[in-house]
Chains A and B, each alone.
Chain A
Amino acid sequence: MDPQRKRKIRLVVALSVAVLLAVALIYTSFSAATEAKEPSELIGAAPGTTAEMTGKVVTGSIRHAGNGIAFRVRDRDGSGRALPVTYQGTVPDPFRGGREIVLTGSVENGTFVGEPETLITKCPSKFTTKSNG
């Protein structure tokens, strides 16, 4: 095979691999992603709605329940009604009232049930300005 042709074939192969990867990325990311929602959007949501919920833990609402905890969250700006949440398993260190959390789970009987090991509490420390800290 002459080198010109060989190079062309190589280029086509490389490009098709890249396109395949890109298509796979796009396809799987849209199907695997969980929607991000704020607590106010989940209140009254149909049972079984799964979401990645981002909200602020209501101060003083954390209670131990069995092997896990129950608490309530509000929207990040502190507005709206509070959504009850249950979570099984251990919580990260920075978790407490007033903190922003990200939790994946689903709505069951008006309560947001978090999946174990998905609770993320934001580090409150760095770079927070007074107004939103």
Chain B
Amino acid sequence: MASLGSVLLALAFLAAVSAAVIALLGRNGDERRVVLSRRVVYAFCALLTACVAIIEIAFAGNDFGFKIVQEHSSIETPPFYKMAAMWSSQEGSLLLWAWVLSIASSLALFATRKKLREIVPYATAVMMGVAAFFTGLMLFAPDVQPFATLSPAPADGIGLNPLLQHPSMMIHPPMLYSGYVAFTVPFAFAIGALVTRRLDAEWIRATRRFALIAWAFLGFGLLLGARWSYTELGWGGYWAWDPVENAALMPWLLGTAFLHSIMVQEKRGMLKVWNACLVVGTFSMALLGTFLVRSGVLQSIHAFGDNTVGPYILGLIGVVVIGSTLLIVSRLDDLRSPKRIDSLVSREAVFLVNNLLLVGLTAVIFWGTFFPLISELFTGNKASLAAPWFDRYTTPLAILLVLFTGIGPLLAWRKVSWESAKRVFRVPLAVALVATVALVVFSDAAHKPWALALFVFAAFALTGLAQEFWTGAAARRDLSGESMPQALVGLVARNRRRYGGYIVHAGVAVLLIGIAASSSFQTNRDVNLKPGESTVVDGRTITYVKPIVGVDSEKFTYASLLRVEEDGKLVGYLRPSQRFFKPTGVEVGTIESYFAGESTSEVGLEAGLKEDLWIAPRVDVSDVQRRAHAADSGFAACIKGGPGTPPQCKALQAMMLAAKANPALRSQALGQISKLQSIAAERVAKSYLGDNAAVTFKVIVNPLVTWMWIGGLIALAGALIAIWPTRGRRRGALVRTEADARKEAKYREIRDAELDHAVGKLSDEDFAVVDAELRREALEILDGENGAKVSVGANGDAPNGSENGANGNGAHPHEPEKIEQS
């Protein structure tokens, strides 16, 4: 099977290279070659899928002849973790990278098979170039071949590190990878657009969804990582500004900026240079993330070892950055936009500000992350920056971002008159004011000005968003006669991109409230308690009732039963524990070896909407360790049968001697020994119960931290709504031609303006101007098509904008279909 896998992998590499070559040969409109290259990409995807299947089958079947299986799984590894163990290895994670890329490339090429004919060959070449790079690594770089074998095959594997045996740890890497990888698609199409000088918004429209999917995956991956850290690592935090965390955050931030600024290019034809730079930056950051995890250049908690792959990836980053920069510079004339931002009070202006903030944030994090290398260059010393330095810059920038998260949705495109601005800002500003007063009077927020500012801005943003939903739904209700909830659902369903985006904004605001509250108002104490003793933390009485000890063949578990009371009333019991694992892959060891492997914490967590009570114990097992050592020596002495050993030892010794003479008895003797040993181990482990030993508990009271997870999930839901294809067009969405897409985009813009007018964001005069302009642009598009369509587009539908002003969603959404049918 392994040799089959190697052959398939080699074929996949050839497929990637030839798809790139064939696509480039077809760049001058040779349709047959373009079709062929697309099919070779599908074949590439099929080949890698087969490779992944072979590895997974090997994991499922405990085929320890595979080196990757032997090193990352064992017979006892639970099935779920066996399936996921592939990507805990270097070579497996590279395979995952290439596989996800093959899927994303196939989907992207399928979606664009009827459009972007000039761009697609180059985009194919870029995607397959990257794919060939990663597939080639697995073939030619030392130590990362996924199909390396061991001969003879060992009987059992080393097993998966217990720290990683956590559900979110298993989903987290593929999420992050999918995020990193999916950014390849917009990057590849951007390069294609630059090469062919087709620099309108077509490539953006075709790949916007991929960028959004990448962004959502990456964000969810970050959230899962934070959650794992909070519940599993026993230090109580969710973010440490660790280089590898930063490496995943930076492409996410740049991706966020990109998702906003491409809207400006789509709607106004501006910011083309900026967008090209952003997509290159985002993709380079994604590669940098992949690189940092496996290079060992920076000191990180995720120190995954120095190895051979790093320099190659660095080389790829260099090629991407230098090549793209040269390409952008050579196309500057084509990228220049004739249009200017009309007004500083418009949505595009706010997008620009938000972009600058996001890029500024990325620059700060980049500088901080790579500071050890920078300082080594200048001072010869690898100095590093800690969390307070990061906080000093990221806090104000994040607070400003929340503010603009609130302002952006309230403003219309192009320009906003003073009257309509007053109308839409009135309520959110009032709520922000009330929130300020309430927070200062009723809470300690005044002592933490940053947190106070964030709460107030978040209140402003959330109110503004709620108002958006309310006025939109009300406008729809007035027209359609639906009930309010119906109108709300219809509104969101009809304008998924807009309202999905608003939901993401709300989620992010909620998430940042959680972060601000839990980081500014956290109580964090280490308390030392003996069984029966109590302590009071933040108004709660915590009593250490008793220790509980668990023993099995792979670990000792030391749990502490804790009673939590508030105002004399029982809140609940918590049972945090610390687990000590034998080193993985050790079959029979000493009792002391239980303390030689990993230890993990199971945190005691009383989660609530108001606050979390988080407790992790640090058990002092030095006495138990000492007894284990003594028991081990006793056991050894017993088997040797020294003088003064009890009569049972004689029997054991006789058995050992018999086993030595007759190998058939060996397994029986070993079984007997391990049975006796496990009895002894249990006795040693439980000796702790008689010690009445004190335990150090790390107790953290984290206010509102639950809202961080809730906010993250809200944002994810919003992203899914925005990604989901609009109903009615779903069937046709993938096969739309370029002209249709352009037409549809313009109709969407008209509809957006009408909605903005209906909800009061655009005054009547502004709307008349904007609407006329949009309709003229729409007619220009239609003029470019055949005469029959123009007549339909021009008769009747076009001039009725102002009467239909309140109708955000009535007649016009049908326009594209009407025209397409004609």
Taking Cβ atoms with an 8 Å cutoff, the residues of A that contact B are: 3, 7, 14, 18, 21-22, 24-26, 28-30, 32-36, 52, 54, 63-64, 67, 89-94, 96, 100, 102, 104, 118, 120-129, 132-133
Contacts and interface: CB of A to CB of B under 8 A. Distances in A.
Given A25-B367, A123-B163, A127-B305, A89 B299 contact: no
Nearest to B524: A117
B6 interface: no
Given A14-B356, A67-B528, A122 B364 contact: no
Interface string B616-646: 1010101000000000000000000000000
Contact of A90 (B163, B302, B363, B698): B698
Contacts of A100: 303
Interface in B61-105: 88-90, 93
A67 B383 contact: no
B149 interface: no
Interface core residue of A67, A129, A132 (most chain B CB under 10 Å): A129
A33 to B, nearest CB: 4
A121 B303 CA distance: 9
Interface in B620-679: 620, 622
A36 B381 contact: yes
A61 to B, nearest CB: 13
Contact of A120 (B301, B375, B578, B598): B301
B299 A54 contact: yes
Contacts of A36: 299, 372, 381-384
Nearest to B596: A96
Interface-centre pick from A3, A102, A125 (highest chain B CB count, 10 A)? A125
B303 A33 contact: no
Contact of A3 (B299, B340, B374): B340
25 contacts: A22-B363, A25-B364, A28-B392, A29-B374, A30-B375, A33-B371, A34-B383, A35-B383, A63-B622, A89-B698, A90-B526, A90-B618, A92-B233, A92-B234, A93-B234, A96-B599, A118-B386, A120-B242, A120-B301, A122-B303, A124-B303, A126-B89, A126-B302, A127-B293, A129-B143
B696 interface: yes
B601 interface: yes
B310 to A, nearest CB: 11
Contacts of A124: 161, 303
Interface in B591-624: 596, 598-601, 616, 618, 620, 622
A128 B304 CA distance: 5
Nearest to B305: A128
Nearest to A116: B526
B386 A34 contact: yes
Contact of A122 (B164, B300, B381, B616): B300
A30 B596 CA distance: 40
A25 B367 CA distance: 8
A110 B163 CA distance: 34
A28 B122 CA distance: 44
A25 B386 contact: no
B90 A127 contact: yes
A14 to B, nearest CB: 7
Contacts of A89: 526, 698
Contact of A28 (B305, B375, B389): B389
Contacts of A26: 367
B371 A93 contact: no
A119 to B, nearest CB: 9
A95 to B, nearest CB: 8
Nearest to A18: B360
B618 A91 contact: yes
A29 B368 contact: yes
B812 interface: no
B385 interface: yes
Nearest to A126: B304
Given A32-B389, A33-B375, A125-B161, A90 B696 contact: yes
A67 B526 contact: yes
B787 interface: no
A52 B383 contact: yes
Residue among B372, B383, B599, B616 with the highest chain A CB neighbour number at 10 A:
B383
Contacts of B601: 93
Contacts of A121: 301
B305 A133 contact: yes
Contacts of A52: 383-384
Closest 9 CB pairs of A and B: A127-B304, A33-B383, A125-B161, A122-B303, A128-B305, A36-B382, A127-B90, A126-B304, A90-B618
Interface in B465-495: none
A86 to B, nearest CB: 15
A65 to B, nearest CB: 11
A96 B583 CA distance: 12
Given A28-B392, A29-B385, 9 more contacts: A30-B379, A35-B383, A36-B372, A36-B381, A36-B383, A90-B234, A93-B233, A127-B294, A128-B304
Nearest to A32: B389
Contacts of B312: none
B28 interface: no
Contacts of A35: 381-383
B383 A25 contact: no
Contacts of B306: 129, 132
B598 A94 contact: yes
B91 to A, nearest CB: 9
A55 to B, nearest CB: 11
A123 B301 contact: yes
A93 B374 CA distance: 31
A64 B600 contact: no
Interface in B208-251: 232-235, 240, 242
B388 A125 contact: no
Nearest to B368: A29
Interface string B292-325: 0110000111111111000000000000000000
A64 B696 CA distance: 12
A46 to B, nearest CB: 16
Contacts of B305: 126-129, 132-133
B346 to A, nearest CB: 14
A125 B375 contact: no
B724 interface: no
Contacts of B240: 120
Among B379, B388, B598, chain A packs the most CB atoms within 10 A around the CB of B598
B393 interface: yes
Nearest to A36: B382
Nearest to A30: B375
A89 B527 CA distance: 10
B304 A33 contact: no
A78 to B, nearest CB: 15
Contacts of A104: 386
B620 A64 contact: yes
Interface in B783-822: none
Contacts of B368: 29
Contacts of B578: 93
A47 B385 CA distance: 22
Contacts of A32: 385-386, 388-389
B566 to A, nearest CB: 24
Nearest to B376: A36
Contacts of A3: 340
A90 B620 CA distance: 11
B622 A125 contact: no
A35 B300 CA distance: 15
B399 to A, nearest CB: 15
